[in-house]
Structure 1
């Protein structure tokens, strides 16, 4: 069963910000599937993803009053999860530096993989954050949350064509931000293969 869960609506978020405990609990519960999906896509391991998701939901519960606009919940949560995943990578690197007295090739490779993945996550998250708000919102809803195009267009008050155009521009901008080294190796991107 591939069921889609909506983000909490703005009235519910506003009520939670105003201190309604029932609304706050509902906001946290309705945000959980999205936060877990974000974390699984960003963190180095499922265990790290679970930890990051739990920490992000705790932050949501404690600090929802600091959310400036109710419509920004998804991007706010994305930043919190991203920061938690990066914090975990830094912690892993710190631990691997402390246990370097017993070097094991497998453990070192895992730490290296985690660092490289963390750097990649940070680069992608920065590129997503640099997108114009309208493109970022469509990209997150379609590619991160996995919502159908018609649902994204409807929730943003756009035609399907406008939604697809914004999504295309966002994806192109992300590809461009991946740097010339990636495009140079890809003949379809117009670059020459590098030896």
Structure 2
């Protein structure tokens, strides 16, 4: 952690719904960074299965279950545009280095995001390896050509994916605290067995 002393990890997620993968990532980030901030957001490249308000509540349940004072949910950072999120974050924490965390499945998309060069100036990019999504050398070169400062994080995130839950409604990938809310609200085609 000493390498990242004073650094804040930022993790925006669709949380649609939060899975064991999200849980593993948040817990892993807490072992690396002194402070981790997360929020639920709309991804302009995805069709969401629940409202932003519902996804925020589900993510909040997961954050409360992890119960670590160094993990905070700051929904004010939420924006479909990463550059807007980083503008807000740099105003809140002007003296801290920021690391914007993404899964290895998103590395190839960053160059198509709004204003990627400005994004790279506002934060380092922390890449969390996801099972089934190897990091491509050409994607790393693309980030570096945009001025990106990249950290390959020493994590191994399981293949659990929100998209799999939405396509094939199953409870096996959802942490219990989140699952009880999903069932209570009849989200994602999952129903309580009564």
TM-score, structure 1 normalization? 0.27
Highest RCO, 1 vs 2 (Cα 8 Å, sep ≥ 6): 2
Higher percent of residues as strand: 2
Q: Say which one has the larger Rg.
A: 1
